[in-house]
Structure 1
């Protein structure tokens, strides 16, 4: 069996059948590349792989410095690859089928308090065009709970500010409508009317909302740097990223009593179990309140 041909077919399967994002597809292909490296080093043909070979592969991978979460995700990728081979009738048996994925402790994401959000956004210098843009960026990022890729790719044609909704393209090119609040709407309009209108925009980029000085869409790295700079300004010691605003958006909604299904829809989670992690954040907050304020604690 030709590994290169199989990887091309697998990539097509992940894109068309599973509807995965480019980043997820790349991760799966990297998993298969590791399996290929192992198989070639051990001179094991793909068709002759057994469960013991997959177990040996996992032991082989463990010699590299990777976390238990990476190991679990790697095994998930390998299982998906063998499932694909069975669907295509290229393998009679799935050697990874009987190997159990380890149960991992759920990692609670870092969140910011409402006060910390206010301090970060309040540290923006609104006397500059860049500052006005950054204000609109952070109000949108936090106000809508967007992924950073969704923010960078946000289009003017997908803003429905008169009815307080925006349309974003999420993972797997899946579109969803998200409510947008008055604060974000206010600063998007100011940015568009007072900053963006004076920019020279690169050809073909006219529909992107947030632009850099050269008139091109902002990169993920640029958003990260904007946030890091603001955190440094206010002396915030937490390790934060653009995704922290998304976690904070969801956590604050849960704390306020919002319906979990509604939060799931706004975040674009396929499974409600992904959204449920924010209820654990809320419980930790409640526990801290009890510990701090209850006379019997």
Structure 2
């Protein structure tokens, strides 16, 4: 089996069996391609079935000189997944990364915004311009529903179930979940949808997409980043923020106010609760209050 065939089959496995998004699939493939580039540069002629642990170890040594520990760990994880697939399909007997350890890295805590910061950013939006109402609805939705930026730009009008108080969100791997949406955010979305969006010349294929640019097309992820960065500069916010910061803030504020971790996991669309548990490390001050309130031996 040649590398390109193995990589093609692996990507199909990630898409069909694992249900991963195209971005995730591309990321895994990039890790394998880094190894292929190394083999080509070193003129090492091996197939995915004959590569040895020693060759992979040498690659890891070389990559460690070029990237930080977090990136190194990510590449090792991606390669381990690729070779695990080959083991699973019975192409090889053992994973050449079986004894290779990823560098220990600290768990990075997510950046968060205070409620004051979020209100300041939203207040800085110029509502006299048509895109102002749209931008306000975007920030309110990011924060109120804890969406990923890809989920936001893909949100459809047919996904809005305001009478029931929910929106339908399509997340990673096309997995769908229903997220509660508060009346105030519903009101702001309706102002944009009914007073601004209706006057936009909309392209046929984007008729159902909620948030559009001035040319009637779906907004890009990069555009959402730009909107937020410009607002941060406008209010002199001395924090490096992105759309994901609103998602982090959503989860952190819910947890601080006593929300159940399992409920937060469901709203964020985390497959594993261990991913959600990172928010437990952001601010432990409320945990003492919960203990004093609910524990029978308080």
TM-score tier, shorter chain, comes to over 0.9
Is 1:39 matched up with 2:31? no
Runs of 4+ in 1 over 6 A off after TM superposition: 284-287
| Residue of structure 2 equivalent to 1:60 | 62
Q: C-alpha separation between the residues in 2 aligned to 1:286 and 1:272?
A: 18
User: Which ranges of structure 2 fall in alignment gaps of 5 or more residues?
Assistant: 289-298
Is 1:150 matched up with 2:164? no
Q: C-alpha separation between the residues in 2 aligned to 1:39 and 1:222?
A: 38
Q: CA deviation at 1:226?
A: 0.8
Give the alignment of 1:264-279 within 5 angstroms: 264-279=265-280
Report how many residues are paired.
286
| Residue of structure 2 equivalent to 1:291 | none
| Residue of structure 1 equivalent to 2:114 | 113
Q: C-alpha separation between the residues in 1 aligned to 2:195 and 2:119?
A: 23
Q: CA deviation at 1:34?
A: 1.2
Secondary structure in 1 matching 2:177: strand
Q: CA deviation at 1:63?
A: 2.7
Q: C-alpha separation between the residues in 2 aligned to 1:286 and 1:90?
A: 50
Aligned 8 A contact 2:160 2:166 in 1:
yes
Alpha-carbon deviations, 1:5-64, whole Å to 9, x = none?
A: 111111101111111111111111011111112233241413332222221110121232
Secondary structure in 1 matching 2:282: helix
Give the alignment of 1:1-297 within 5 angstroms: 1-40=1-40, 41-46=42-47, 47-64=49-66, 66-283=67-284
| Residue of structure 1 equivalent to 2:295 | none
Q: Measured at CA, do residues 284 and 31 of structure 1 come closer, stay the same or move farther in structure 2, by a change above 3 Å?
A: farther
Q: C-alpha separation between the residues in 1 aligned to 2:125 and 2:37?
A: 49
Q: C-alpha separation between the residues in 2 aligned to 1:284 and 1:247?
A: 17
User: Which ranges of structure 1 fall in alignment gaps of 5 or more residues?
Assistant: 288-297
Aligned-CA RMSD value: 1.5
What TM-score do you get using the length of structure 2 for normalisation? 0.92
Secondary structure in 1 matching 2:251: helix
Q: C-alpha separation between the residues in 2 aligned to 1:52 and 1:285?
A: 49
